[in-house]
Amino acid sequence: MVAEDDLKLFHQVLTARSVPKIPETLENDDISVLLSELVAVRDALVQFAHGNFDIDLTGRNVFMATLKTLQAHLRHLTWQVGEIAKGDFSHRVDFMGDFSKAFNSMVSQLKHSLTELKDREASLLALTANLKTSEERWNLAVQCSRDGIWDINIDNRTAWYSGNFMHMMHYTTEDLPQELHWESKIHPEDSVQAGILSNVLQGIGELLPFSEECRFLTGQGDYRWVQVRGMPVHSESGRRLIAVVSDISAQKMVEASLMLQAMYDNLTGLPNRHLLDDRLKQAVANSKRGGNPFIFVTLDLDFFKEVNDTYGHIAGDKVLVELAERLRVGLRNTDTAARLGGDEFVAVFACDVDKEEAMTEIIMSRLYERLKPPVMLDNVEYQLRVSAGVAFFPKHAQNLLTLFEHADVALYKSKEKGKNQYTIFEQNNAAE
C-alpha cells in the first residue's frame, strides 16, 4: 500500500514549480533522482501543451523514453497538419491507436469537403461568368433595339422601364404611372385592348402570353400606335409581366395609305367601287332588317369629253374634283357618294318608308342648286351640267345588279330629255 507521505510528495512534484523538499522519512539518492526526472517530465508536458515540441529531452529512464516517443509523434502530427493546411491530404497517421483512426477519418472528410467546395466554386464561377455574359447580351439587346421594355411586378406593384421606352413615349421617370393603371393611357376607341391590359396588370384570370395593338398616350399629349407583346413570368419575387413595346405608327400610316388607295378614289377622295359595294351591301342588309328603303342615284357629267378636248385633262380633273366636292357637301353620315371611274358617280341616300319621291325631290333640287356656281377653267367660267338617274330599293329592285340597271335606264332618260336633270325610274321604262 502507498504511504500517505508518498502521495503527498508525488502531488507536490506535479504541481510545484521547483523540486520540493524531500521528507526525512523518504530521503535517499534514488528518490532524489526520480523526483528530478519527474519534474523534467512535468516541464516537458507543459511545453508540449504550449505547442513547443522541439525541447531537448535528456535522461534514459522509462519516463523520458515514453516522452521522447510522444515528442516524435507530436512533431509528426504537427508536420502533417501543416501539409493539410497546404492542401496535401495524402499523408496518414499510423500510430496512437484510435486517435490515428479518428485523425485519418477527419483528414479524408476534409479532403472530400474541400473537393466539393472547389467543385462548387468552379460551378459558381462558371455560373457567374454565364450570368455576366447573359446580362451583357441583355443590356446590349436593350440598347440596340428600338423597342421599349416593361418589367412589371404584378404582386408588389413595382415597375421598371427601359430608356428606349421612355424616349420613344416621351416620358420621364417622374411621369411614368407607378400605380400601373395603364388603361388610362390607351385611346378610348381601343377599349378592348385596354381591358385586356388592365386584367393582366391586375392579375385577373390566367396569365398568358398576349400581343395587342393600340394607341398609347405619349408624354407630349398625342397618341402613338404601339404593339405590346407580353410574357408572364413566375419568379421568386412574384408574378411579373415582361413586355416589349414597339412603335408601329409608321406601319399604321402605310396601312392607312394602302387602305385609302384600295377603297378611295385617288383623284376625288370619294369611295371607289370596292368601298361602294361594301356600303351598298350594308344598306341592303339594313333595309331588309329594318324595313327602311334607300335612294340610289347614278350621275354623269354632260359634255365632259368637250372639257377634256378643249381645256385638257388637267382641267377635266378639276371639274371632276369640283363635282365630287359639291356632292360631298350635301351628304349626311348615313349617305355615301362614290366615283366609279371617268365621269361616272353614284350616291346612296338613307330614306324613311314611303318618303322616297319626296326625299328625292329635296336631295336633287339641293344638288342642282349647288351645281349652279361655275368652275373657272383658264379664266373662263364653265357651268357644271349633270344628268342623273334615280332608283329606289326595294321598290324598283330586289338586288343590287337590278338596282344599277334601273338607275342607268333612268339616267339615259335624263339625257334623252335634254340633260342636266334627273329622272326617277319607272317600271314601264325598263322594257324600252
**Alpha carbon distance 372, 300 (integer Å):** 16
Catalytically active residues, by annotation: 343
**Alpha carbon distance 180, 157 (integer Å):** 7
Q: What is the CB-side half-sphere exposure of residue 70 using CA atoms within 13 A?
A: 16
Q: Which residues of 164-186 are buried (b: 16+ CB within 10 A; e: fewer)?
A: bbbebbebeeeebeeebebbebb
Q: Is 390 helix (H, G, I), strand (E, B) or coil?
A: strand
H/E element holding 41?
Answer: helix 29-49
Query: Cis (ω within 30 of 0) for the bond into 394?
Result: yes
Residue with cell 377634256: 308
In 287-414, beta strands by DSSP E: 294-301, 336-341, 344-350, 375-377, 380-382, 386-393
Q: Can you list the pairs that 44-52 forms with residues at least 24 positions away whose Cβ atoms lie under 8 Å?
A: 44/71, 48/74, 51/78
User: CA torsion angle for 47, 53, 54, 60 (degrees, to 10)?
Assistant: 80
Angle at which helix 313-329 crosses helix 356-370, to 10 degrees, equals 130
